[in-house]
Amino acid sequence: MAPRLILTGFMATGKSAVAAIVARRLGWPLLDTDQRLVARAGKPVAAIFSEDGEPRFRRLEREVIEEIARDRCRCALCKRPRPAVVATGGGALVDEANYRALNASGVIICLSARPDVIARRVKKSRTERPKLLEGGKSLPDRIAELLAERREAYARAEVTIDTSDITVEEAAERVLAAFIAHGAPRCARSA
C-alpha cells in the first residue's frame, strides 16, 4: 500500500486547510482532488455543476481519484511508493469506486463538524457550494439533509475527527496522530 493519508468529510470541515498543514509537516506532496478536477475541466466547481451538471463533475472526480490511486511512482529517498496527502471533495466517498480506490491507497480520515459550525463556516466562505443550493431549502436544513445522505459513506473512514471546537493546527495534530496510530508507513524523509 502506498503511504497515503486521505482526508475526506463534509464541506467546510477543514479538509483543504488541514491537508496543507499535514503535507507540509510530513514533507509530502498534497494532492487535492477538487483542484485537479478544476484544472482538468478548465473551470471552477460551481461552473462545472451549472454548465455540465453533477454527473459530469462526478465522472471527472472519479477519473482524478482513480489516477491518484493508481500512481505507482516511487519516492526518490526511500524507494517506496510515493507518499502523499490527499484531500477529497465532500461527496467523493459516496461513490463506491472512489471509496475502493482510496481505501486501497492509504488511511482514510474523515473530518466532521456540527451542522451549525458548518453553516457558520459556509457563510464566511467565498466559495460557491452548488450542492447547498439544491432543493430550495434553508442552509441548516440542506446541510442536515446532505449529512444524513452521506453518513454511511463517511462512517467507512478509519477515523473521524470532529473539527467543530478546535483550530486547524489542532485538527492537523489529531490527523497526524491518527495516521500514525493506524500503522501508516512513513517515508524516510518524514521520519
- Domain segments of the chain as ranges: 4-190
Q: From CA 81, how far away is CA 110, in angstroms rounded? A: 23
Task: Report, as an integer, the average pLDDT of 32-58.
Answer: 95
Q: Is pLDDT of 191 > 60?
A: no
pLDDT in tens, 127-164: 888 888 888 889 999 999 999 999 999 999 999 999 99
Q: Is pLDDT of 19 > 70?
A: yes
Q: From CA 60, how far away is CA 41, in angstroms rounded? A: 8
Q: From CA 13, how far away is CA 38, in angstroms rounded? A: 20
**Higher pLDDT pick, 173 / 188:** 173
One CATH from 3.40.630.30, 3.10.290.10, 3.40.50.300, 3.90.660.10 for 4-190:
3.40.50.300
Q: What is the pLDDT of residue 130?
A: 85
For residue 42, give the H/E element and its range. Answer: none
For residue 106, give the H/E element and its range. Answer: strand 106-112
169: helix, strand or coil: helix
Instruction: Return mean pLDDT, the chain.
Output: 90
Tell me 94's DSSP state. G
The pLDDT confidence band at residue 183, using thresholds 50, 70 and 90, is: low
The pLDDT confidence band at residue 40, using thresholds 50, 70 and 90, is: very high
pTM of the model: 0.90
Q: From CA 92, how far away is CA 25, in angstroms rounded? A: 25
Q: Is pLDDT of 1 > 70?
A: no
Tell me 27's DSSP state. T
